[in-house]
Every structure is written in structure tokens, then in C-alpha cells.
Structure 1
Amino acid sequence: MSATEEIEKRVEALELSKHFNVTKAAVQEVEMEMLLKLREIRQTMISTTSPSASNKELEALKMENNKLKLQNAKQAYRVGHLVRSVQELQSQLNKGQETQ
């Protein structure tokens, strides 16, 4: 290979590397734009899905509801038991008054 051919190849390689650097910069610019858009999307998703606090609140409300249902059932049983006891006492009093 002659010296001129070698110099021409080196010049060509330098021109290609210059073109590569320009292309590389353009690609990096596009990547940065995409990264910024992705960050915006992520932030939007976080802000719209942050009802995770609401999910926690919802779970707490469900637990409280179950607790209140259980408490209500216990009280309903107690009231029923008291009503039966009062009815029995009334019937005993009525029988006692009838026998007198």
C-alpha cells in the first residue's frame, strides 16, 4: 500500500469518526428526550396510583367494618337473651299473680 492510499484511508477514517460523533450526539439527545418523557410518565403514574394510601385506608375501613359487624352480632345476641329473660320473668310474675 502506498503512502497516499494510507493517508486517504486515515482521512476517510477521521471523517467517519467525525460523522460518528455527530450521530452519537444526536442519538444521545434523543435518548435524553426519551428519558425525560419516561420520567414524566413515571411521575404521572405515581401521582395517579398514589391512592395506595387510599388502598390502605380502604383496608383499614374493611377491618373496622368487620369488627363492627362482629360487635353488632354479639350485642344482638345479648339483646335477644335479655328479651327472653324478661319474657320469662314476666310470665313467672303473671303465673304468680294468677295463683294468688
Structure 2
Amino acid sequence: MNEQYSALRSNVSMLGKVLGETIKDALGEHILERVETIRKLSKSSRAGNDANRQELLTTLQNLSNDELLPVARAFSQFLNLANTAEQYHSISPKGEAASKPGSDRPHPA
């Protein structure tokens, strides 16, 4: 199971990098920087860093109207990609891969 988790983390990381490149190409470096700043501040805030929590709140409050939707969509798409990767890597109670034909879970394309 640990190997399975490692493969999942690797795929989620790769998908995040591809999403980042796509955001940069489609929306510009500025939006990617905003997304990355928010992501990093969120991680450190969850780890208990109160200063970064306050900086995160300030950053979110100061997003312009033009930044709100692209930033929200970036996080939404990342969660969609992470969920897809998780479905791909999920294991049934019998230990069979979810991608095995005939399983109840969706087969990845």
C-alpha cells in the first residue's frame, strides 16, 4: 500500500506541474504566481504558522476581481485532477486494482 501511495503522490505532483504550465501559458505568470503563493501559504498555515495564516487571509482579501475566478478555477481543477488520480490508484477490498475490467469503479481512459 505504501508503494501505491507513493505512485499516487507522484502522479498528483506531475498533474499539478502540468496544470501550472497550462495556467502560465493560458493566463500568464502573474496568475500562476498568485496560485502558488496561496498554495504555499495554505500549507504552512495548516501546519500551524500563524503569521502565514494572516498573510494568506490578506492575500485572499486583496485578490482583484480579475484574479478571483482564475485562481478559484485553478484550485478547483487541481482537486479534480487529484481526485481522478486517486480513483485511478484506488484499490478494492479484495486487493484488485480499480482499473481492472469489470470492477464497479470507473475505468481510466
Of structures 1 and 2, the larger Rg is shown by: 1
With the length of structure 1 as denominator, give the TM-score of the two structures: 0.29
Higher relative helix content = 1
Q: Which has the higher contact order (CA 8 A, sep 6+)?
A: 2
TM-score w.r.t. the length of structure 2 is: 0.27
